Amino acid sequence: MAFFIFVGIGLILLGFLLTFIITQKRDGYSKALSLAALGNYLDARAIVREKLEEDHQNPYGHYVMAKIYSMENDPLNEAKHLEIIKKNNRYTKEIDLVTVSNRVADIYYNKDYFEESFFHYLDTLQTDRSNPTACMRLGFMALGQKEFKIADHFFARLPEEKMNSSLYFIARGVISGVTGAGKEREYFEKAYQLEKSAVSGFLYAISLSRENKHKEAVKIASTISDQVEDEYVRYTIFQFLMTEAILQQNFPDALKYSRLCMEMAKLGGWTSESIESNIHFAMVCVYMGRYEDASEYLIEAESERLDDPEVVALANLKYKLERELGNLDSLSHEYDLTRELNLLSVTLFPNSRYFELSGMRSSKPFNIKGLVDDNGKKIAGKLDMVGLDKFEKFIAMTGTQFKNQATRIILAMGYRVTKELGNTDGEGVNLLGSSKENVDQRALFRVRKWKDAKVSDVFLREMVGQMQELGASKGYVIGNFEVTEGGKKIIASSANSLEIINGDKFEDLLERTM
């Protein structure tokens, strides 16, 4: 009996001893945190390092060290210690994988290290499949790279009925509109109800127009036009109101808004937009029989777009209508003005514009398709490429290094460089090449280091002129950019002589040549 009593007392004493040791250790960490709170980060870290010497993998020690760096506003060192916890795969009840992964991912996300952030959020989903923070961030990062299917994969894990974020519904609406799922109006309406912002309102108005609810669309667009301070956004809204007026056969309003667009474009010094708005104003004037009002702006458009078949056809139509050589119906086989006016809504605001107007494009591109497949699953073979963004390396190249890379790209496309040409914009290099198979076949290459730009009709017209001077039958624009609506018309009328290498094509070239 005495034996059991002694054993019992011994176990109790051992328990007290262990508790005392643990408490002492925790007290040491508490002291470190107290010092850090007072701004004495150096001594605080010294205490924690001493503790970690006893157990290099102690998750609490690294967690405290991370908190000290957080207090010191040094997020990258904070992330370093949290990643040690993940690497050691040792956690406690308070320090779990989800908490650690999300915090590291947040740090990298805020630093624009999107590849690293992406993978840490994916680690969170391995444990918590529908973690709202990870799903939202992964969805927005994918959407920012125009990877709509991948973005939808992550957003779809979140219960719509429990979401109260306007940005979430804008994102779902953009994806639905661009992919043709057909639920964009529903999503944009929810976004607008949650936050009556200019962005949600404008997207909602466009989606209403697609469902032929033009009066509601005009009402919302008119309301938000008064809230917007950015002149270019106001210009875009007025463009939309012009197209809505045309669809409702309200040509006095169409004339009013087309004139506003024209005046704003000229005041803003927007060359491409000025030409486009001149054409739209002239189209409305000609339709209304106000030929004199159309003359000046149509002549101005003709002088800028000498070879544009649409401008030439409109000018010919105006000439014949003025001289009563026919009417809109009888001359429609030459230029169907009524049809062209009604198509302006779709031409200026295609479904792809939902993304552009949402403002969700990422400021820093990265190759998301090299990190995950279409179902959002990690590509194991690509894990070693995290942080090694080929595009970022490409645009960081200078001088001979950049020209050599441009040459490798051109060689991969089946051409040899024969001459370097002048380049006034300083954003890249212009090269003349000849086909490997036929040396008489020349091509002009404009390789650019643009991070996020737009290629306009002005740029492409000038390029076509240079191609003619050089005797080049093909022209390639290579880089990270989008083409304006005016630019797309030039490409469409170029008889396949102009080719755009961007997006996936550009990424593939970098993958093959770097």
Q: What confidence score (pLDDT) does residue 374 get?
A: 65
Buried b (16+ CB within 10 A) or exposed e, 457-472: bbbbbebbebbeeeeb
Q: Where are the alpha helices (DSSP H) in 38-96?
A: 41-54, 59-71, 75-88
Token pair, residue 295, equals 């003359």
The separation between CA 144 and the C-alpha centre of its own chain, rounded to angstroms, equals 4
Token pair, residue 286, equals 């000609």
pTM (whole model) above 0.85: no
β-partners of residue 434 are 416, 442
Question: What DSSP letter does each residue of 314-375 carry, written as one string?
Answer: HHHHHHHHHTTS--TTTTTTT--HHHHHHHHHHHHS-TTHHHHHHT---SS---GGGTB-TT
Provide the CATH topology of domain 230-349.
Answer: 1.25.40
Token pair, residue 11, equals 């176990």
Domain boundaries, the chain: 1-95, 230-349, 390-512
Residue 480 φ/ψ region, left for φ over 0, alpha for ψ in the -120 to 50 degree band, beta for the rest: beta
By 3-state DSSP, what share of the chain in percent is helix, strand and coil, each rounded to 5? 65, 10, 25
Q: What confidence score (pLDDT) does residue 12 get?
A: 42
Token pair, residue 340, equals 């062209």
Q: How many other CB atoms are found less than 10 A from the CB of residue 496?
A: 9
Q: Any idea how long the chain is? A: 514
> How many alpha carbons lie under 13 Å from residue 370 in its C-beta half-sphere?
22
Same fold, 1-95 and 390-512: no
Provide the CATH topology of domain 390-512.
Answer: 3.40.1340
- Residue labelled with tokens 């002009």: 444
Provide the CATH topology of domain 1-95.
Answer: 1.25.40
The separation between CA 347 and the C-alpha centre of its own chain, rounded to angstroms, equals 21
* Amino acid identity, position 255: L
Q: What confidence score (pLDDT) does residue 16 get?
A: 39
Q: What confidence score (pLDDT) does residue 395 get?
A: 79
The separation between CA 404 and the C-alpha centre of its own chain, rounded to angstroms, equals 29
Helix (H) or strand (E) holding 287: helix 271-288
SS3 387: coil
Q: What confidence score (pLDDT) does residue 389 get?
A: 57
SS3 302: helix
* Amino acid identity, position 364: K
pLDDT mean for each 10 residues of the chain (514 residues) = 43 40 58 89 90 88 92 92 91 91 94 88 88 94 91 92 94 95 95 95 96 96 90 95 97 96 93 92 96 92 84 93 94 94 93 92 75 62 42 78 86 88 82 88 91 84 91 91 86 88 82 80
Distance CA 308, CA 38 (A): 70
Q: What confidence score (pLDDT) does residue 378 get?
A: 61
* Residue 179 neighbours by CB under 8 Å, 6+ apart: 148, 149, 152
